Amino acid sequence: MGVSNSKLSSRFSITDAKSLVKDLSKPNPMIYWIDFLCSINIGTLALLGMLRTELIFGVTGGQSWLVWSACFAVVSVAYMRSAMFIHELVHLPNQGFQGFRIAWNLMCGIPFLIPSFLYYPHVDHHRRKHYGTDRDGEYLDLSHRHPANLLLFTVAALVVPIAAFVRFAVMAPLSWVFPGFRAWVEKRASSMVVDIFYLRGDFGKEARRIMRLQEIACFVWCWALIVGAWQLSDLLSDTLLVQLYLVSVTLILINNVRTMGAHRWMGDGRELTFEEQLLDSVNYPYRAWITELWGPVGTRYHALHHLFPSVPYHNLGQAHRRLMDNLPADSLYRDTVRVSLIGAIWELWSRAHNRNQGQPPIVPPTEETDQAHAA
């Protein structure tokens, strides 16, 4: 990645970093329950406001459009936060959080068509020997590809909701009948990843049982939506499915943009060292008033999460401050800090463009130069 491995390793001590945050690995169930329940319920109330704006708020014409837009914004923020708890489920211990997993799936995972089994392959993204290789479904060598791939990555949000609906409403029941098709669906259409060629591994008998149960629930929900949209069109809105589609596209679009800024994407398919993996990930600790909207539930601390996956989201801010206050001035960890998501994505675009033109790659800025540029 442009710097010798020996130089990188001399700038970071995992032992020193771990000693600073070792007491922050215990998740607080109360925080999870309160945060999630508040987010999902606020989002649902705002969704009702979207569907019945004129009746609930007593407005018409231009005012109705303004109120609808405000409700849409609240739905997007609240539902984005609710959905991102799927990331925490992978890292939470089984003991003490089984009820939370069930509640999340019933209230969010199933209705959003993102049941938790889709995210089991996330563990491959954290395996040292898998990160950035073809065994990592959450990684693409975007810095080495044509920059047009970034646009494709973004506009994919238009297709994903339809693909998810087809996956559970049509492909799931067919896979229950045809064993050969079932094997294809499990390997190629059962993972929430960015690499469409990723092949899902076998997570065991219990994981397959959970997959089947969650598939059945999603299948029932898909057809209930179709019937409900027809039966309840007068009570709710004759554009129910259209509005749900718009919400879905918005959530996926936000997440796709967030994902583009979560890494520098400088891997080229080879196995990266620990230090290279750390440097390839990004933290956005500043401007919480905006970064928490597009990077909720700890996802704005992506580099820190890769460093210590067991630290729960509600402790990541404190962990980051400790590391920044106590690690040496030349610590590699400081190079993971960025201020602007748009700035990071622009640099990704520039790196891809320069490589495509045969020009030298852009060297990622340090925290100091990034802050100066933002100012």
Interval 223-228 mean pLDDT: 86
Asked if 243 and 225 touch (Cβ cutoff 8 Å), the reply is no
φ, ψ for residue 111 (rounded to 5)?
-60, -35
Average pLDDT, the chain: 91
CA gyration radius for the chain? Answer: 22
pLDDT for 280-338, tens place per residue? Answer: 999 999 999 999 999 999 999 999 999 999 999 999 999 999 999 999 999 999 999 99
pLDDT at 368: 44
Q: State residue 226's pLDDT score.
A: 86
Distances in Å between the Cα of 100 and the Cα atoms of 5, 87, 107 are 42, 13, 10
The whole-angstrom separation of Cα 213 and Cα 234 is 32
How does residue 96 score in pLDDT terms, banded at 50, 70 and 90?
confident
Asked if residues 354 and 362 have their Cβ atoms less than 8 Å apart, the reply is yes
The pLDDT, as a whole number, for residue 240 is 82
Q: Domain-by-domain residue ranges, the chain?
A: 26-109, 273-374
